[in-house]
């Protein structure tokens, strides 16, 4: 998301650096670097797993 928010980075280059297609990148992050709903769902799952691991 930070890479997309930086206007000096082209979306095509960001996608290539992450090893994904441009359409996949845009499915998760908008042109301004803001997460889309899909990204928010993944981030929420990640937070839940991390929080559970910390309680153990």
CB-CB contact of 46 with 56 (8 Å): no
Whole-number Cα distances in Å, 35 to 1, 40, 54: 7, 6, 25
The Cα 49–Cα 8 span in angstroms is 34
Quote the domain boundaries for residue 14. Answer: 2-55
Mean pLDDT within 39-56: 83
Q: Domain total for the chain? A: 1
Span 4-31, mean pLDDT? 96
What is the rounded CA–CA span in Å between residue 21 and residue 37? 18
pLDDT, one tens digit per residue, over 25-44 is: 999 999 999 999 999 999 99
């Amino acid at each position: 998301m930070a890479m997309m928010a930086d206007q000096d980075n082209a979306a095509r280059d960001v996608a290539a650096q992450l090893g994904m297609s441009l359409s996949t990148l845009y499915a998760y992050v908008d042109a301004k670097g803001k997460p889309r709903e899909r990204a928010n769902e993944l981030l929420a799952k990640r937070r839940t797993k991390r929080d559970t691991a910390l309680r153990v």
